Structure 1
C-alpha cells in the first residue's frame, strides 16, 4: 500500500522494505488519516482486523470503527487532538468490526509530520486486536473474584502462611473472627505466636507436618486482636509450588468456641443441678410422698434461718410452720391436687421463720406421679415475697392519695370555671380565660407529678408557669430567689396567682409595650416563724390606674393563697406599675397537704 505520505517518510529500497513490512503485518491494523480524520490508507491487516476492504474504508471517517457511545463522546476527534498536542495518543477500548461485532483493541495515533515544513500532514493509526487477552483477563478476574467471594463468605478463618509460619493473607471471615480491623496489623506476624498455653506447641507441630507435605491438626485457644478468647479447630496443609514441593502453607481455623462451651455446659450439668438448690434464693423442697421425707436446699437457712440438717425432714414439719390462719386453705389446696389429676400447685401463705416472724411466700410446686397416676413426689420452690406484698400495699396507699388529690384538683377546677363564667362578658372571653387558667393549673400539676408527689420547688414552678412569656424575651421577666419547697396546694394556688399577674401585665401592664419589664423576687425572712416574702413589681409599662371594679382574677390573686394556706397578699396599683406582695409562713407553705 504505497502512499504519498509514506513515500515522504521512506526512501528508496528502505521505503520498499518498510512498505512490504507494513503490508505483511496482518496482525496490526495500520491506517492513515488526513487532517479531518478521513481514512487515506488501509493495510491488509486493517482489512483482517476490522473487516472492511480498503475500497470500502477509504474516505470514511475514523469514527467508522468506534463504538456508538465513543462516537457520541467525540472520542475520535479528542484522540486526534491529543496526538496533535502531545505527539501520541494511546488508547485501549472496545471497537466495532464491519458486521457490528465488538472487539477489544489497544492502539496508538501519531501525527505524520512533513520533514521540510514541519507541519502535520495527517495521522497514523495502529490497532491490535486484544480481545482474547481481554476475555482471558476478565475470566481470570472473575475467577479470582469468585474465589475471593468464596473465601470472604466462609465463616472460617483462612490464612496463607509462608514456610516460616508468617501470615501473608487472611480472608474476610477470618478478619471478622479474629476481630482484625486492619490486616496490616497482623500481616507478617508469626501465626504460632497467636496461640496460648499448649496451643503454641501444637501450632508449631502442625506447621512442621504441613512443611513436610502432610496435614497438621489440633484444637487450641487463641485470643482475637481485641482480646476476646476463642477456641479453634485447626487444619494446616501445604500449598505446592510448580516443582510440587510446599511453597506456602494453608491454615484453616474454625471457631469452636460455641461447641467447647456446649461441651463444658454438658459436663457441668450435674454439678449445676446440685448447686442450683444452694445458689437460689428460693427454698426448694423435695417431698417424697411415699416415704414422707422432705429434702430442703440451703436457702431454707439463708432465707428463713433454718439449718436443713437440724430440722425434722418430714411433711409435718413444713406444715407446722404455716401460719394457723393460712393452714387449712393450704392443706385443702394440696389435697385437691393430690386427689385430682393436676400436676402443678401454687399458693401464697405466711411461713414462720427461725426468728419467729412470718414471711409471706409464694410456693410453686410440681406433682410427680407414677405410671398408675398416683402422686409419689412433690417438688416446690418457696419464694419470699414479703417485700413485694409490702410494695403492693404502699402502691395501694399511693392510689388512694392520688384519688384524693384528683378530687381536690377537680374541686379547684370547678371553682375556677364557675367564677370565670360568672364574671366574663362573653362566652369567647370566658373560654379563652378559662383555658389559660387551666393551663397554668396544669403546669403546676405537671411539676408536682414529675418531681415529687409531696412537694414542688418554687423556682421551677415559676419558670414553668411563666415559660411562654419568657421564651422570646427572657430579660423582661427578671426572676430570682432562694430554693423553697412548696406543698401541692400552695404550688397550685401560686401558679394561678402568677398566671393572673402575667396575663394582666401582657394585656395592660409592663409587658404590653416593648420596654417594660417585671421584677419577681422572693426571699426567706429571718424572723420566727420564718416566712416567704415574694414581690411582683412592674416597671416601664403604661401608667397604671386602679380599676373601678375588681374581677375574678383580682379576687383570685388576693384571696387564693390566704384562703388555702394562710398568709397575706397585697395588690397595689402604683403609677409606675402593679405591685403584688405575698407573705406566708414557710411551715404552712411546705406542710399543707392536698
Structure 2
C-alpha cells in the first residue's frame, strides 16, 4: 500500500477535524432541536389543554348565551305583551279622562303640560296634542296665571291645594274649582303635579239665584211681617220662630209649647182651623187658608192670615203642615172702619137726601118769587156741599170745627172787610155734627145778609165755642152773636131757615139750638154732645 503523502495526511486530518467539528455542531443543533421540540411539545400540550379548557368554557358560555337568549326572548315577549296591555290601559284611561266633565292634566316641574284630556278643547279651544310641552303661562294667559301661581308654587313644594275662582278662559268666564295634587318621587323630590278642575258655573249661578230668591223671600216675609211655621201631627208639636212669637205676643227668644201657642187662640178658633183644613182635604186640595183671631196677654185682639200646605196625609189627617202667618190686624181694623164709613155714608146719603128734599120743599114754599126760591135753594145746597168737601178730604172720618166754620162763612166774606171774629179750641167733630153746624151757619149767615149785621157796612159777627163737661160727657157750646147791625125786631112768624136751625138741626145734633132776636143783634146758642152716639 502506498503511504500517503504528508500533505495529504494533513489535509485528511484537517478534513477529519472539520467533519468532527461539523458533527459536534450538528449534534449540538440536533440536541438544540430536540430540546426545542420538547419545549414546543410541552407548549403545544399546554396550549391544547388551555384550548380545550377555553373550548369547554366557550361551550358553557354558548349554552349560557343560548339560555340567556331564550330568557331574553321570553322577557321581550312579556315586555311586548306588557306594552300592549299598557297601551290598551293608557287608551282606556285616555277615553275615561276625555269623557269626564272636568279638566285633567299633568304639569311637570318646569310648569309645562305633559298630559291633557279632551276637555281642554272646549275650555281652551286647543287639542291635547297642541298643548303638550306648552307652559301654563302661555296656556292660561298672564291674568289667569297670576291668579293660580300661588297654588302652583304650593303644589310644587309638595302640598296638595284647592281653590275656587272665576277663570277668564277663551270659552268665556267660568267659575272653576281647581285641585293640584303633587307627584312626589321616591327620593322626595317633586316631579310635577296633577290638575283636576271642575266647571261649577251653573252650580254657582244656581246657588246665587237661590240665595237671591231666599233673600227676596226673607225680605218679603220681613216686609210683610210674616212668620213661617210648621206642625207635626204625630208629635203634636208646633215649631215656633221669633217672627211667630212676635205675632202671638211671646218674647222673640221664647220656646212656647203647642198648648201655650193654642192658648192664644180666641174661643172657637182651633175648631175653625180644623174645619177649614178638613174641608180642603175633602175637596182633594192640600192648600188651605183662613183667618185666625188671637188674644194677647194684655187682652188686645190680633188677626192673623194663615196659609198652609198639608203633606204626608194618612186617613184624612196630614202628618206635616207648613205655612206662613201674616199679621192682618191693621187690615181687619181698616175693613171694620171701612164698613163703619160705608154705614155712615149710607146714613149720611139718606139724611142728605132728606135735607135736600126739605130744603127744596121749604124754600119753594116760603119764596115769594122763583128767583128768591132759586137763590135760597142754591145757597143752602152750596153750604151743604162745602161741608161735604171738608168731610171728603178727611175720608168722612170727621173734620176740625175751625175748618168747618171757615168754609161756611167764606161766601159771606165779600160783604166787606173782616166782618167775622172766630175763636175757640181746635176740636175734631164727627161727620154728623160737622154737617149740622155748617148748615146752621149757612142759615144764620143768609139771615144776617138779608136783615142782620151783614146788611149794613159796619155790622160784625162773633163766632166762639168751647167744650164743657156735662154729666161726664163733653159738650160743645157754640155762639153766633151779631153786633152793630140794624135794630132787631123779633119776627111774628119764623121762616124756614129759623125752623131748620132750631128744630131739624137741633134734632140732628142731638142737642139744643136757641135763637134770640135781641135788639142789638141776633144771638144763636148751640149746645150738643160731642159723642158720636
Larger helix proportion of the pair = 2
TM-score normalized by the length of structure 2: 0.45
